[in-house]
Amino acid sequence: MNHSNAWTCVLIAALFTPGLGLGQTFSKDWPRDVIGLLREPSVQKEIKLTAAQLKEFNALVQKELGDAKIDLQLGAKQSTVGGKVLESLEAKQQERLEQIFWQRVFQVDGLRVFSEPSILKKLEFDAEQTKSLNSALTESQTREQEFTTKFNKQPGGNEQTYDLALSKMRMQVAAKFQSQFTATQKATWKGIVGAPFAGKFTNMYFRPTR
């Protein structure tokens, strides 16, 4: 397969077309979300965080952020603290933590993860895949709008039910697009997200409800 940087530029340009609301840069959330992820006991266990590391993490967060919960308004400060926390982790721990982060992005936002510039660069979509992705993103947005309109007309619906159903639909559209991946792209994507994380999240921020 012949890959071209030109097609990456075309894709990025299309994703930033006014009105589509696509092309989020999820990687900017990474350092900030480190703090919330490491507050989760299941994540601490998964990356084998030691008692000493946990103590150091809690002390740093308390000193820098106090009892503040994850707040988008504190994004810059949380990102700075998250960066410091990452520096205190071993390479394997950092790698697994980042894999869990991308899994959550994918589970919450589905196909949109492939509009992330850093992911685009690694997967190197060709012309046909680029066209397919743009079509799938448009289809996804249309289906989401239709789903939202239909859901709002149903009595007794709640935010969590809505978000879980929306996440499921996004994953279905994403799976359809992923069927076009080459063997190399499949291996690359597996390296990005790693083995499935089966741990539970206590903080709603990290469930597919945002």
Is 182 within 8 Å of 125 (Cβ atoms)?
Answer: no
Please check the confidence at residue 24 and state whether its pLDDT lies above 80: no
pLDDT digit string, tens, across residues 45-75: 999 999 999 999 999 988 888 766 655 555 6
Number of domains into which the chain is organized: 1
- pLDDT-derived band of residue 16, with 50, 70 and 90 as boundaries? very low
Tokens 């009892």 — which residue? Answer: 67
Give pLDDT tens digits for 146-198: 888 888 777 766 777 787 788 888 888 899 999 999 999 999 999 999 999 99
Q: Is the pLDDT of residue 17 over 50?
A: no
In angstroms, rounded to a whole number, what is the distance separating the alpha carbons of residues 105 and 101? 6
Q: 198 vs 38, 46, 57, 122, CA distance in Å?
A: 15, 9, 23, 25
Which residue range(s) make up the domain with 164?
Answer: 5-206
Terminal C-alpha separation, the chain: 37
Q: Are 22 and 141 in contact (CB under 8 A)?
A: yes
